[in-house]
Amino acid sequence: MIRIDQLKCAPSKDDKGLIKAVSRKLGIRKEDILELGIIRKSLDARKKPELFNVYSVWVRTVNDEKILKKLRKDASVSVFSPVLYKAPEGGNEKLTHRPVITGMGPAGLFCAYELALRGYKPLIIERGRSVEERKNDVKRFWETGVLDTISNVQFGEGGAGTFSDGKLATSVKDKDGRIHEVLKIFSDNGAPFDILYEQMPHLGTDILPGIVKSIREKIIENGGEVRFETKLTGIAMNEGRVVSVTVTDREGAPEEIPCEVLILATGHSARDTYKMLYDNGLKMEQKPFAAGFRVQHPQKMINLDRYGSYEAAELLGASPYKVTANFEDRGVFSFCMCPGGYVVNASSEEGELCVNGMSYSGRDSANANSAIVVSIPVSEYPSDHPLAGIEYQRNLEKRAYDLAQGRIPAQRYGEFKDTVIKTENSTVSSESSDDGCRGESFEPVFKGEYEWCDLTGIFNEKINRLFVDGMTSFAHTIRNFDAPEVIMAGVESRTSSPVRIPRDGNMESSISGIYPLGEGAGYAGGITSAAADGLRGAESVIRKYSPLK
Ligand SMILES: Cc1cc2nc3c(=O)[nH]c(=O)nc-3n(C[C@H](O)[C@H](O)[C@H](O)COP(=O)(O)OP(=O)(O)OC[C@H]3O[C@@H](n4cnc5c(N)ncnc54)[C@H](O)[C@@H]3O)c2cc1C
């Protein structure tokens, strides 16, 4: 088969011009193309408002060899050699008990899926509720402000990214096809096929729960067992290896479950679980992370800047963006950008508040949002204790909660900036507009109640100043990015884990038999990389043990 890279076409909804472009490129008739598949599709907006889709494709023709010979000097045409994911053969050691998987976020879910399909009959415990029940719990929280600490935006089936933009792009290189395998599993369970080749694939909050449910059903069909509202509350060891776990059900009744494999996929918000594991001697270390505020701009402003016209968005959808800047020892950057999205109250603990972003598959709200975050080195943490980063996060979240008694604290950027750089020239307009920004006010979109506040007391002066410097710098990339009317909300503090649980080459922790996976272990950041880490964890178990009879 033949691979063609850098194939340019005018954007169209259904990749209409592609076959024509391929036949022209290869100098053959359309009828001589037997099969064609897209490997990658991205947008080239360097000559905006003239836009191009740029494709990498594979093609099977009536005579591949002849074409490859004819075009051998064309660097964009080559032999297609796909990277195929290959799961390992089962090992020889015998398991006496089912592997226990803790947490049903992407890491736990994909680990369980692979183990179930390969005959290891995993037992999966999840502290939160099923995704169907969780949808109502989260909606209720956003409507009433009453937090359910068992089932919320962070906890429950599907994990932290279930009520999200569902961005699936990752910076992890796909050397062994594992990332493609993750996307294929999503697609086999109800995600649209184009996630397999779009450069920036996304699902949306309306699609993710159905996929999560489908994966759960397949785990159960293949011999796995799922227990909701069941929390890991203890571990027991013998000679440095795990021998059982204690779990606590919805009535608070403890149960001891023997196991020789414990997958820890508990995410970065399970602070009580980190503590329990630390108290039991599991080795952990500090890890830097990033924190800041979520900002909202009118989506039309972003579309105009990125595409060069308002109309292009009708074909290409709401535009994403990415901005970064470096200031001496710190980075400031956009994180988890949600085109046409909502800023959500993403809290999971009483008396503490954090925000995040989500969107529906249509990405059709009026505003774009993203976290603008500053890198936080471990030297900012209150002590050298491995869990001090959690204390640091908690302090930020307590301050954010106290500002508006649990409602999302929000502020126009102009007012924030004036306080931070101690000027008195706030120029926030009260004129409402739906597409402009500088000199024209626009309305925020939140999931959860909000209140206008002064956000300058959440972080220290240095971080506030870095945030402002970042915003000023980003306005050189995106016009009006730092307009006074831009809406900020705090605090964005759950970007990644401030803790790492070290693991060896077989992915086991300092306690044998415990496999820390995903974001909470400090080895992933985002849905796809956490899911891929889940698959890697399953591979390690498969390589060592034979399936359960
Ligand atoms: C609102 C929001 C939007 C996001 N948007 C995106 C996005 O668009 N794209 C992207 O790539 N990433 C996004 N993320 C980040 C992404 O969700 C995480 O990177 C990812 O979910 C991490 O996966 P994980 O499996 O490691 O952990 P988690 O998803 O955090 O899952 C951990 C699970 O373990 C359970 N658990 C914890 N402790 C216990 C215990 N003791 N016993 C039993 N169960 C336990 C939790 O209830 C949870 O279900 C978003 C996150 C949020 C909150």
CA of 157 to the centre of ligand 1 (A): 9
**Per-residue DSSP letter, 463:** H
What is the pLDDT, as a whole number, of residue 436?
A: 58
What is the pLDDT, as a whole number, of residue 369?
A: 98
What is the pLDDT, as a whole number, of residue 429?
A: 61
424, amino acid identity: E
Q: By the 8 A CB rule, do 185 and 534 touch?
A: no
Task: Report the C-alpha gap between 169 and 146 in whole angstroms.
Answer: 33
Q: By the 8 A CB rule, do 187 and 196 touch?
A: yes
The atom of ligand 1 lying closest to the CA of 519 is: 26
Backbone angles phi, psi at 366, to 5 degrees: -75, -20
Closest CA to 515 of 506, 523, 524: 506
Task: Report the C-alpha gap between 86 and 83 in whole angstroms.
Answer: 9
CA of 462 to the centre of ligand 1 (A): 30
Q: Find the DSSP H helices in 280-405.
A: 299-307, 312-316, 388-403
Query: Is any ligand 1 atom within 6 A of the Cβ of residue 493?
Result: no
- What are all long-range contacts of 17-21, with beta carbons under 8 Å and residues at least 24 apart? 18/55, 18/57, 21/55
Query: Is any ligand 1 atom within 6 A of the Cβ of residue 298?
Result: no
CA of 340 to the centre of ligand 1 (A): 22
Task: Report the C-alpha gap between 381 and 225 in whole angstroms.
Answer: 40
Residue nearest to atom 33 of ligand 1 (CA): 103
Residue nearest to atom 39 of ligand 1 (CA): 266
Query: Is any ligand 1 atom within 6 A of the Cβ of residue 300?
Result: no
Q: Categorise residue 158: left if φ over 0, alpha if ψ from -120 to 50, beta otherwise.
A: left
Reduce the secondary structure of 389-448 to three states and give it as a string.
HHHHHHHHHHHHHHHCCCCEEEEEHHHHHHHHCCCCCCCCCCCECCCCCCCCECCCCEEC
Q: Which of 127, 163, 198, 279 to mutate to test the pocket of ligand 1 (most atoms within 8 A of CB)?
A: 127
The SS3 assignment for 489 reads: strand
The atom of ligand 1 lying closest to the CA of 103 is: 34
Residues of the chain whose pLDDT is less than 50? Answer: none
> Based on C-alpha coordinates, what's the Rg of the chain?
25
Q: Token pair of 150, please?
A: 């068992």
Query: Is any ligand 1 atom within 6 A of the Cβ of residue 535?
Result: no
Residue nearest to atom 12 of ligand 1 (CA): 526
Say what the pTM is.
0.94
Residue nearest to atom 18 of ligand 1 (CA): 526
Distance of CA 196 to the CA centre of its chain: 17
What is the pLDDT, as a whole number, of residue 15?
A: 81
Measuring CA to CA, how many Å separate 479 from each of 301, 429, 432, 457? 8, 17, 19, 28
**Per-residue DSSP letter, 62:** T
Distance of CA 469 to the CA centre of its chain: 26
Closest CA to 531 of 212, 230, 224, 133: 212
Total residues belonging to the chain: 549
Backbone angles phi, psi at 271, to 5 degrees: -70, -35
Measuring CA to CA, how many Å separate 66 from each of 38, 60, 348, 389? 22, 12, 61, 61
Q: By the 8 A CB rule, do 298 and 437 touch?
A: yes
Q: By the 8 A CB rule, do 162 and 156 touch?
A: yes
Q: Token pair of 543, please?
A: 């390589």
Closest CA to 224 of 55, 98, 138, 45: 98
The atom of ligand 1 lying closest to the CA of 125 is: 43
Closest CA to 304 of 49, 31, 109, 130: 49
Distance of CA 416 to the CA centre of its chain: 28
Residue nearest to atom 53 of ligand 1 (CA): 160
Query: Is any ligand 1 atom within 6 A of the Cβ of residue 128?
Result: yes
What is the pLDDT, as a whole number, of residue 273?
A: 98
Task: Report the C-alpha gap between 24 and 133 in whole angstroms.
Answer: 53
Q: Categorise residue 188: left if φ over 0, alpha if ψ from -120 to 50, beta otherwise.
A: alpha
CA of 106 to the centre of ligand 1 (A): 7
Backbone angles phi, psi at 56, to 5 degrees: -115, 130
What is the pLDDT, as a whole number, of residue 424?
A: 54
